[in-house]
Amino acid sequence: MRNTKDYRHGYWRSLEHRAMSHDEEADTWREHPPKPEGTDVSAGGLSRRRFFGVSASGAALAGAAATTGCIRKPKENILPFSERPEDMIPGKPLYYASAFTLGASVTGVLVESQDGRPTKIEGNPKHSGSQGATCVYAQASILDMYDPDRTRSPMQGEEAIGWDVAEATVADLVKAKAAAQGRGLAVVTGYVTSPTMRAQLAAMKARMPEAKIYIDDSMAPNNAIAAAEAIGGKGARVVRSLLNAHVVAAFDSDFLVSETDSVRLAREWAKTRRVTRTPDLTKSGGKVGGEYMSRLYVVEPHLTPTGMMADHRRRAKGSAVGDALLALAKALDAAGLAWPGETAAVAKALPAGSVDDTTAQMIAALAKDLMDPANKGRSAIIVGERQPAWVHTVGLLLDAALGNLAAGANVTGSARWMVDAHAVDAEPISNLTAADTIFVFEANPAYDAAKADVIAAANTVHFGLYRDETAQAAKYHIPVSHWVEAWGDTRALDGTIALQQPLIAPVFNTSSSLEWMSVLGGGRLVDGYSLVKFHHQAQEGAGAGADKAWRRWLHDGVATSQPREPLPPQLSGWGEIPKLISAGRQPVDGMEVNFHLCPKVGDGRYANNAWMQELPHPMTKLTWDNAAYVSAATAQKLGVATGDLINVGANGGSMQIPVFIAPGQAEDTISVALGYGRKWGQSANEVGFDTYAIRPYGSWFAAADISKAGGEHELVSTQDYGRMKPPSLIFDYPERPIVIENDVTGWAKDPTFVEKVNLMTRDRLHHLWEPPKLAGKQQWAMSVDLNTCTGCNACVVACQAENNIPTVGKKQVSNGREMHWIRIDRYFRGDENEPTAVVQPMMCQHCESAPCETVCPVAATTHSPEGLNDMAYNRCIGTRYCSNNCPYKVRRYNFFHYNLNLRPGWLNDDEDGARLAQLQKNPDVTVRFRGVMEKCTYCVQRINQAKIEAHVAGRDKVADGAIITACQQVCPTGAIVFGDKEDPDSAVSRAKANSRDYQVLRDLNNGPRTTYLARIRNPHPELESTAAREDEAGAGHGEGAAEAGHGA
Amino acid sequence: MPQIFPRWTNNIPIAAGLLAPIIGIGLIFAVWYWFSPKYTDVGYRPKQPVPYSHKLHAGDMGIDCRYCHNTVEQAAHAAIPPTATCMNCHKQVKTTSARLQMVRDSYDTGEPIPWVRVHQLPDYAFFNHSAHVAAGVGCASCHGRVDKMVVVEMDQPLSMGWCLDCHRNPEPNLRPLDQVTNMNWDVTKEEYDPKRDPERKRQVNPPTHCSGCHR
């Protein structure tokens, strides 16, 4: 019997893969597996008619060339500025500080401008919400600016109207309402982070006291805010920091990827997980606790990236997560936790939560960890934004008792109380039942809050980028500026103020929402620059030095002189908790449907973003779709398999949605993502299924009737693409080490464990011929830490933006033709219902003796003296041998001219749109044509730029840290490190010196330059034995199938 | 039976056998010569919208290249100057010249002058001026004696083979760093050893691998 703590074996990529026999698996080992119906060769939009058209024009061109006797390139004009702007050097990008907002999260960013075109978004290291990184949404939002679907002129119904008409219409509506004190006026917005906009709304309230403001924002932490305000009064907020955390318990919280302030929290949490030295059991008394490496406990209904990172994870229905927290409160109380002051009575009276046995075991271990004196004030109870307010209040109660919640500076606690004094006084959108004039600012209540009737019945003016559901229902639709085109300001939850500045004049001559809002407060359209500057100078005083301070803020992106110290609120609301519990606690007995924000399209606001649609989902790897995640056992009960449609009835509505059997899903639940099933937009239209139809607004789970519907829907998941296990036709390979994990004690006992998982020892590896010596002064290499990689996808989209990677559409993805240079592989291990998971970003490994190079017939891929695996696109003739021979399956082939055909069938009807989208392209990277192979270049354009700068300055070598690849730049957890491996002091050399460092498929002796740091888990010592027992039980029936061919 | 073909037709196969290689070689030569950038590109001299003479400005008056192309030491492009640079002088001199009408119009209206690009690399080749200037490659090495051109033309083929000739053996084309813009400094006549030049902080080591220029 194999030792179940042996992390070498038993990985599987999908349930299909897990159930396969060894021979079947060999048959499926194809890079582009043929589909039953064959692959459609015309999928690039090249019909027969168009083919002949292209042939004819080609012939005409050849004729023209022959007659003129000239094969010169076409004449090109250079149009220099009449007067070049200061600091602008043509061809050199400039970076401007701005800020990106999503719900209540603010990420400071630096936007790259290439000759006046914003092309790429990077994190701003000076902003607390970014610390140099960004989330995946910020990366993708640049594409929205160039979206050809953006409305180009104001509209009344279906008719385009002039800007002057639009402005007069809004002014008239406001005037009429101002005369009536605002009676019957409703203003709908998303969560407002902008202090200027808050002031404007306050001015509007002063002018029209009876006007109502409604917030419609599913991405804002509405429940967390409600809980904080219940305890701390109006404006109270809790802001977390995980820098000092030893123990983190997440209750249905995906705080690492998709929730508020995820970038900052992921960065801070990663610092507690980036272990550089091997643990020493002799010094720590035989056990490794949170002070060495924080420990993460998770209870959640479906597997999220946070659950994937957890040391212990338990499944629970969304409606039962609160019970787990109540059980924890009871366990802590039983262990003698000292409840501070007035909270004791409340805590003692908390109802008992019912949890199953395995969860109870975990709760017991968690309680022990929390009661450990070493962890006092160094833990965090994070309740997810989907949980109702009462769960949040219980979480805050525990945080307070554990010493985590503190006020004032210099606290070690993981969270602190603050007061957001100028928060907008607003109601949730669900309260909007009737109004005669509605202004909707960049919100979509007709889609996400079922308010289409109310919108249509009133004089509604919709301000937004797209003619979306609300715009279609509204009487007027006025396009607004994208945030990269507009002035603005933001206030993060921790109080950091950051300014937004435009990088480009509005492409469609629009004004921003902030500017339109000035009509509400003052009656006329004022430019954003004046609004923002005036507001901040009024706050700071416009005396001497004010202009200088303003310029400093713009330059840094952060207004440092704004007060950031928290003001502690009066915590008088602890007594509210029992009332909140009795009002809000609603267990679901039968089947439960729970809703979540899609880690790709959010609440639907990125649904028309082709990058986001094509991105594989972090856990299920689904693209261009959403689905109902169910566990294997529940699927069996329902009699369905992946792709089968089910009927889901909830909240008085019903819908059909395909099933996706997702390992790690709680029993008797289905989890569905919001944001799909749209009826507009070239990317969004008809993609996925609209789950708002069955969602009670503001609630994230509900009892549901679920039955098999009959019929199927093709779901495209990339989870089986690029498997790295060879067929067993010739040799019966044992499973090769691709992801390597261990736990801390295993690592401590055997510091060289990564060495031992290889099939061959180092001395057995020989080259057929002497590898050529690499003469470069610096040798580029990368290290990826699997211990901190959360699979959030930010790197995938950052790479897409930086390297001009096209999207190909669902059909092409289903043929295995996606173009992402970074593929984030997700592996499961263990039981199919309660597996552990690990992700591994896989991109070109830049092998020192690269298998791709030896088979290229035209030497289009060769090695640089600095260790890069170069790709000369113009030499490539498209044999695809290199891709065939790549053991890591990281080469991507342009089967069609995807860059012209950005979306399937797109160019033909919208050439303006194609030209607009071209403006996003990075001019430092070649745009590849059909028939060309491509792959990760280690961002060679950035390497060359840094080298040229060093050479011009007279240095031979590039300083460590001067080259930051796009994926490294954006990584919230800093898992990716790049640099010169010849320099022993470089960050990458230090990372590779870690005893966890390993090469994937080292036995092939390729010498990959990208190496990985093995994943280390930090299980609680008492749960370890339990986990091992469970593992063993699981191994008995589950792993046998996948491993049958080779008893280990 | 009379002969269908006259007797001289017997020579056709011999003639064909002799001519075919000549035609074949001719074709190869034709492609090799007439399709190469040496033929198609060298001497390319498009008509510019403003009859600007480098001979007058750079040659006779001796204005340094960098007065107008002032980004050459910092950026990939040696940018065409903005109209404002022309007007630095032409506000005072030749203020009524008809040939400068377009320049004055551009300065007044902000509309750019549509100069025609002379040196045009393919989009997949990434050339950087600042790196070459810092290495001590003279302007004249690639652009020829611009100071003698009334209308600028291409002096060198700018083909990949031509680039590599120098990248593989750069020394003959290097000059002291303060002579880069000197049109009269003749690399074939002057004695200069870059290895012994104390002004150089580093010895050049030009890339000859693909990603040096293609990315």
The ipTM estimated for the assembled molecules is 0.91
Predicted local confidence at residue B3, as pLDDT: 81
The two beta strands, A212-215 and A185-189, are parallel
Whether B116 and A874 lie within 8 Å, measured CB to CB: no
Predicted local confidence at residue A834, as pLDDT: 87
> Which residues of chain B are within 8 Å of residue A80 when distances are taken between CB atoms?
79-83, 112-113, 115
The 10 Å CB-count burial string (b at 16+, else e) for A779-795 is bbbbbbbbbbbbbbbbb
Whether A937 and B44 lie within 8 Å, measured CB to CB: no
By CB atoms closer than 10 A (0-12, 13-18, 19+), residue B188 is exposed
The 10 Å CB-count burial string (b at 16+, else e) for A858-874 is eebbbbbbbbbbbbbbb
CA distance B105 to B96: 12
Whether B126 and A871 lie within 8 Å, measured CB to CB: no
Q: How confident is the model at residue B23 (pLDDT cuts 50, 70, 90)?
A: very high
Residues A184/A208, Cβ–Cβ less than 8 Å:
no
The residue of chain B nearest to residue A65, with distances taken between CA atoms, is B35
pLDDT in tens, A177-229: 999 999 999 999 999 999 999 999 999 999 999 999 999 999 999 999 999 99
Which of A78, A79, A875, A939 has the most B C-beta neighbours within 10 Å, making it the best mutation to test the interface with B? A78
Q: Which residues pair with A250 in a beta bridge?
A: A298, A382
The residue of chain A nearest to residue B88, with distances taken between CA atoms, is A83
Whether A952 and B75 lie within 8 Å, measured CB to CB: no
Closest CA to A961 of A973, A936, A944, A943: A943
Whether B46 and A864 lie within 8 Å, measured CB to CB: no
Predicted local confidence at residue A901, as pLDDT: 59
CA-angle at A214, arms to A213 and A217, nearest 5°: 140
Predicted local confidence at residue A32, as pLDDT: 60
Residues A325/A345, Cβ–Cβ less than 8 Å:
no
Distance of residue A915 Cα from the nearest chain B Cα, in angstroms: 17
Give, for A64, the enclosing helix (H) or strand (E): helix A48-68
Distance of residue A941 Cα from the nearest chain B Cα, in angstroms: 6
For residue A26, give every residue at least 6 positions away whose Cβ sits within 8 Å of its Cβ, in sequence order, or none. A727, A728, A729
Of residues B67 and A290, the one with the higher pLDDT is B67
Predicted local confidence at residue A594, as pLDDT: 93
pTM value?
0.91
> Which residues of chain A are within 8 Å of residue B210 when distances are taken between CB atoms?
862, 864, 870-872, 875
Put simply, whether B71 touches A (Cβ < 8 Å) is yes
Put simply, whether B88 touches A (Cβ < 8 Å) is no
Q: Percentage of residues in chain B with pLDDT exceeding 90? A: 77
Whether A954 and B134 lie within 8 Å, measured CB to CB: yes
> Which residues of chain B are within 8 Å of residue A952 when distances are taken between CB atoms?
73-74, 130-131, 134
Query: What one-character DSSP code corresponds to residue A788?
Result: T
Whether B83 and A92 lie within 8 Å, measured CB to CB: no
Give, for A520, the enclosing helix (H) or strand (E): helix A513-522
Whether A92 and B109 lie within 8 Å, measured CB to CB: no
Put simply, whether B40 touches A (Cβ < 8 Å) is yes
Whether B209 and A952 lie within 8 Å, measured CB to CB: no
The residue of chain B nearest to residue A88, with distances taken between CA atoms, is B71
> Which residues of chain B are within 8 Å of residue A82 when distances are taken between CB atoms?
82-84, 106-107, 109-112
Whether A924 and B210 lie within 8 Å, measured CB to CB: no
Full 3-state SS string of chain B? CCCCCCHHHHHHHHHHHHHHHHHHHHHHHHHHHHCCHHHHCCCCCCCCCCCCCHHHHHHHCCCCHHHHCCCCCCCCCCCCCCHHHHHHHHCCCCCCCHHHHHHHHHHHHCCCCCEECCCCCCCCCCCCHHHHHHCCECHHHHHCCHHHCCCCCCCCCCCHHHHHHHHHCCHHHECCHHHCCCCCCCCCCCCCCHHHCCCCCCCCCCCCCHHHCCC
* Partner-chain residue, chosen from A84, A941, A948, that has the shortest CB–CB distance to B130: A948
CA distance A353 to A364: 13
Interface of chain A against chain B, CB under 8 Å?
A: 70-73, 75-84, 89-92, 777, 862-865, 868, 870-875, 924-927, 937, 940-941, 943-944, 948, 951-952, 954-956
pLDDT in tens, B160-204: 999 999 999 999 999 999 999 999 988 888 888 888 888 898 999
Whether B71 and A91 lie within 8 Å, measured CB to CB: yes
Whether B79 and A80 lie within 8 Å, measured CB to CB: yes
Q: List chain A residues with pLDDT less than 70.
A: 1-9, 21-72, 284-290, 406-413, 541-542, 560-567, 722-735, 901-911, 1024-1048
Put simply, whether B30 touches A (Cβ < 8 Å) is no
pLDDT in tens, A415-435: 888 888 888 889 999 999 989
Assess whether pLDDT exceeds 60 at residue B152. yes
> Which residues of chain B are within 8 Å of residue A78 when distances are taken between CB atoms?
80, 114-117
Whether A927 and B44 lie within 8 Å, measured CB to CB: no
For residue A412, give every residue at least 6 positions away whose Cβ sits within 8 Å of its Cβ, in sequence order, or none. A244, A377, A378, A406
DSSP A992-1031: HTSTTEE-TTGGG----SEEEEPEEE---HHHHHHHHHHH
> Which residues of chain B are within 8 Å of residue A70 when distances are taken between CB atoms?
40
The residue of chain B nearest to residue A875, with distances taken between CA atoms, is B210
Instruction: Report residue A487 as tokens.
Output: 């002035």
Whether B76 and A91 lie within 8 Å, measured CB to CB: yes
